[in-house]
Structure 1
Amino acid sequence: MLWKSVLWKPPLSKPARRTPAASAASVLLAVALLATACGGDGSAAKNNVAAADPAASSPPAPHKVVIVVDGKQTEAMTTGTTVQQVLDEAGIKLGPYDLVKPAADQPAGELVKIARLLSKPKLTVVKTPAKTIRKKSDSVPPWSEKVLREGRSGIKIVKWAYVPRKDKKGRTRKVKKVLAQKVKRKPVTRILAVGPQSAGTGSAARLNWAGLAKCESGGNPKAVNPAGYYGLYQFSMATWQSVGGTGRPSDASPDEQTYRAQQLYNKVNGRWQGQWPNCGKFLFS
């Protein structure tokens, strides 16, 4: 009888079935091993738990703020942190053009200023006149002036708006108010050299000029004749200018008018009849 050699094979076993509990345990074990391998001690998990449940913050403590509206001051206790919050708690409403300092969206300090405006602020260019300085000079003829430096007006930018103001009867009026101004160009001062303020011109000074003035104008240096004669000695404009006068004779000082009259007397070589035909005789009284 022949025997066949048969190789023996062990029976195939079925893989063990993993229960859900075992799977969950394996996952937890892997996570723990991974954390240990990375040097973790579980603090991240603790931090996550703490971050998920922050402690409740306390509200800001009330503080005092001074509010000034058009110069009228009030005090308010508030918990507001911005100017707008402070005004809301104080029951103060802003108009569309009101100026607030600090701005409404800025942090509130201890002081808030409000300017009530009835119109939108506008900018206007304004010229500022130049000053005039007069310096005495012996090199300039008496009662005459010489320009040493021309003046120039300045320029400034003025910011203004209409504001409410109450009159004496308690009625609200709209008044123009300057809010701010900025100098764009400074004025340049005009400088004049002024000659001696003397009323004496040689031998003519010894004549009776007061007597002539009394006859011509009643002694009034501002006298004006509709026919075109001015001042103490009733100069015409042409005659006044011929002896160095500027402007109207009646606007000059009495001393200058007398000086110019003496100049005129000398200029015509004492022939007063052509200048003061009716009153010239009083020069010799």
Structure 2
Amino acid sequence: MSTSQYETYGPYGPYGHDPYGHDASVHTAETLPYGLWEDTYRPAYEAEAYFVTESLPPVPPRPPVPPLPRQTAGVPRRVIPEPGPPTKPGGRAVRRRRARSAERPESTMRRLLPQALVVAFLAGGTTAFVAEDKAVELSVDGRQRTLHTFADDVSELLAEEGVRVGAHDVIAPAPGAALASGDEVAVQYGRPVRLTLDGRRREVWTTAHTVEGALDQLGVRAEGAYLSTSRSRPIGRAGLALDVRTERAVTVLADGRTRTVRTNAATVREAVEEAGITLRGQDTTSVPLDSFPRDGQTVTVLRVTGSREVREEQIPFQVRRTEDPSLLKGTEVVAQAGQPGLRRTTYLLRTVNGVRQKPRREGTELVRMPRTQVVRVGTRPRPTAVDGADDLNWHALAACESGGRPDAVDPSGTYGGLYQFDNRTWHSLGGKGRPQDASAEEQTYRAKKLYIRRGAAPWPHCGGRLHS
């Protein structure tokens, strides 16, 4: 500690000298602890040590300092020492003060050294503590604040502050960037936008807070466009759905005229109406009316007139053949006659812009199902002959009765076949079905059996031919 001077006044006056040649008005800090004002002095290093750390043992309270004598402004304090015998030059008091003064520097160093070390250690720790602390500016989605942190990089800072980020959020600087005092860190949250742009749907992400800012980020030309919501509408963290239809040029050809309109219509029908063209009846366009009109697209209006025509068509029936062992081989009998079905078809007849088009089938209706024809086919072997009738002229009899035709039928419909059997006689002879449906061989066989039974009587007009 630097030498401090205190002015005192002895019994010889404020500026006098004692009788032994010492200056009574000036005392150094080394001699003050032994003088009158010992309690008012305290070394500076003790005060600093107790101020810096709280880990040192508490200092016991010192006795209160007696108040100084009152003085008049501008007049030095006068301290009156206790009365006593005058000290002789070179007396015991002088020798004692000199001995103590000679011992004091070493004792003072022993006290100062441990406390100086503590102060130096605490000062170094405080310096390191202050060096690790950083003051940074953190902006989260536009909300800015200043904070102190010990984080080494941006990721640690965000984790300390509980800021969660996703794949679509923007962080500047990058999460792994080192932090220094005075840095600025900005976090912008991503917001999903379900964007339908000119009829095409997709999901995009933006960090903008308004619809207008999102359109700028996405590079969407919004001038003259239709927006499903206001441009100033804020976009929350949950995002929103946005329909944008930009302005397009569409050319419409109708009734021999060409019209070009600039529109942000959602369908071709709306664009045609904006061109001042009215669609009537079956009128249509070269592209679907509910499709999205593209920029530079040409749409042709088709004036359509037409009618419907109904046509009936027969459906051929099928024939199913079944074997019948009761019939002779070569004999076929129709068990169920077939019937064709009926189909009704509607055709659309159109005229487009005055040109007749090929009929177009519009629908088909089944009126009647076809009925299958069933035919029985004989499988029984033919008899070889009939005794007593084989030698007769059956060819001449057949020529006389039916003209030699196996399927001949008389005008009344009662008799049929080569030999003009009636059905009752035919069945009595073992025939099936009608005689005119049987083969010529079977008919001749049945005729021979009839001749054995009744002779030539069944053929009163032609029976004589059997013997010719």
- TM-score when normalising by structure 1: 0.46
Q: Which has the larger radius of gyration?
A: 2
Taking structure 2 as the reference length, the TM-score comes to 0.31
**Structure having greater relative contact order (Cα 8 Å, sep ≥ 6):** 1
